[in-house]
Amino acid sequence: MTDRPTSWRMPNPKEIDKMAALVGRNVPREPGLAPEADLPPEYWQALLDDRRAESRSGPSGGALRLSQIPQHILRVECRRCARVVEIQKVDAIRLYGREALWKDVGRRLLDNTCTQRTGRQEEDGCWPAFE
């Protein structure tokens, strides 16, 4: 099915000229950056101000032991199939121990319910992204 209405028709030349005159009005007045130009400082500051930047400045979330993670809900997402698995920290500790690495626990949680099975070891399994 198409998005156009059922009474669609070709515009006449006068309407085409009118639309063409409107096209140039929406163009920004200042040119964009050249491919080799440096990005403005505002861009870099916006990246640093993003809350996700803080979590990447220290050790990655996957490298922490369960006892070192401050969140009560642990979440791991598969970059391949977009599946999300959540577990409470107390349940993860009860099942895997306080000293278990979160990346190992998260990978195990994803692999236990993985739907991407091809039969080839290098292609099987999920690709975890720890939050």
Q: Are 83 and 127 in contact (CB under 8 A)?
A: no
How many residues appear in the chain?
131
Q: What are the tens digits of pLDDT across the range 31-78?
A: 677 777 788 888 888 887 877 665 544 555 667 889 998 889 998 888
Q: What are the tens digits of pLDDT across the range 73-117?
A: 998 888 777 788 889 999 999 999 999 998 888 888 887 766 666
In the chain, domain spans: 61-130
Report helix, strand or coil for 122. Answer: coil
CB neighbours of residue 106 within 10 Å: 25
Q: Are 105 and 92 in contact (CB under 8 A)?
A: yes
* pTM confidence score: 0.48
The pLDDT assigned to 97 comes to 92
pLDDT over 60 (residue 1): no
E-only strand ranges, the chain: 73-78, 84-88, 128-130
CB neighbours of residue 111 within 10 Å: 13
